[in-house]
């Protein structure tokens, strides 16, 4: 039985992943900010037979991270797998109009995650085992006019995870970067849907496969790897004209 911590457990992808992990018998510790939503997710998992513990926390409060991770490890008797699954989809226009909004988005999507990754890396490096998975985004593969604040946070996060992966390789700790494309979740409810959108359940299956092994950088669904290869290959002069 794996001991799994999920940070941002009420996101649609995280909740779908937790249901799959429940079927496998993982012991789960869930953390999220919204007490009511967290309670509902935990109750659903318990009804499915899961051993679930949980804690309410604002994960942007970096001062609480060390104590929060210690509490999760104590409750589970150690940590085998950690999934970091929270974030916000920045309002690009608001970020352009007010730096303070952009800074808040960068703190949520990048700096608070870097804080968690740093604490987790030191903990798992000492125990010389474990898997840390972080949900980044295809938006971090190339800066686009329509969402470059969100994209820059995810791009920097992917690079940080890459460096951490190289640092922790000698200790046997896996660092997995998960890059979903468009996913039909409450975060994207305001966006017009098209055939590129995937369900949270489909993405969750890929997350579980990534936790189990294989490549440590994963695009979900997999076709996004080819899509982003093409987008990254476009010359800057042409890319600017596309207004993506």
Catalytic, out of 29, 86, 150, 219: 150
Strand partners, 27: 3, 51
Distance of CA 204 to the CA centre of its chain: 11
**Residue 150 is among the residues annotated as catalytic for this protein:** yes
**Distance of alpha carbon 89 from alpha carbon 91, whole angstroms:** 7
The answer to whether 31 and 83 are in contact (CB under 8 A) is: no
E strands within 70-229? 81-84, 131-135, 174-180, 217-220
Instruction: Record the tokens describing residue 241, joined without a space.
Output: 């004209």
Contact 130, 81 (CB under 8 A): yes
234, 221 Cβ separation under 8 angstroms: no
DSSP 183: B
Q: How many CB atoms lie within 10 A of CB 100?
A: 10
Using CA atoms, how far apart are residues 31 and 167, in angstroms rounded to an integer?
26
Residue pointed to by tokens 């998960």: 178
Number of C-beta neighbours around residue 141 at 10 A: 21
Catalytic residues: 150
């Amino acid at each position: 039985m794996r001991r799994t911590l999920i940070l941002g457990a009420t996101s649609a992808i995280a909740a779908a992943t937790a249901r799959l992990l429940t079927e496998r018998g993982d012991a789960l510790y869930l953390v999220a900010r919204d007490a009511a939503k967290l309670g509902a997710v935990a109750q659903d998992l318990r009804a499915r037979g899961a051993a679930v513990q949980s804690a309410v926390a604002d994960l942007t409060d970096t001062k609480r991270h060390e104590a929060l991770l210690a509490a999760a490890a104590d409750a589970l008797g150690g940590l085998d797998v950690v999934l970091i699954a929270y974030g916000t989809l920045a309002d690009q226009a608001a970020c352009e109009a007010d730096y303070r909004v952009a800074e808040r988005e960068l703190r949520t999507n990048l700096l608070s995650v870097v804080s968690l990754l740093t604490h987790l890396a030191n903990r798992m490096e000492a125990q010389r085992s474990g898997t840390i998975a972080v949900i980044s985004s295809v938006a971090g593969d190339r800066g686009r006019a329509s969402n470059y604040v969100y994209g820059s946070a995810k791009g920097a996060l992917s690079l940080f995870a890459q460096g951490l992966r190289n640092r922790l390789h000698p200790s046997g700790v896996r660092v997995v970067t998960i890059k979903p494309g468009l996913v039909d979740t409450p975060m994207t409810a305001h966006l017009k849907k098209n055939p590129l959108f995937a369900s949270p359940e489909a993405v969750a299956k890929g997350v579980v496969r990534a936790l189990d092994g294989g490549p440590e950088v994963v695009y979900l669904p997999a076709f996004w790897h080819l899509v982003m290869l093409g987008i990254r290959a476009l010359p800057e002069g042409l890319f600017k004209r596309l207004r993506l």
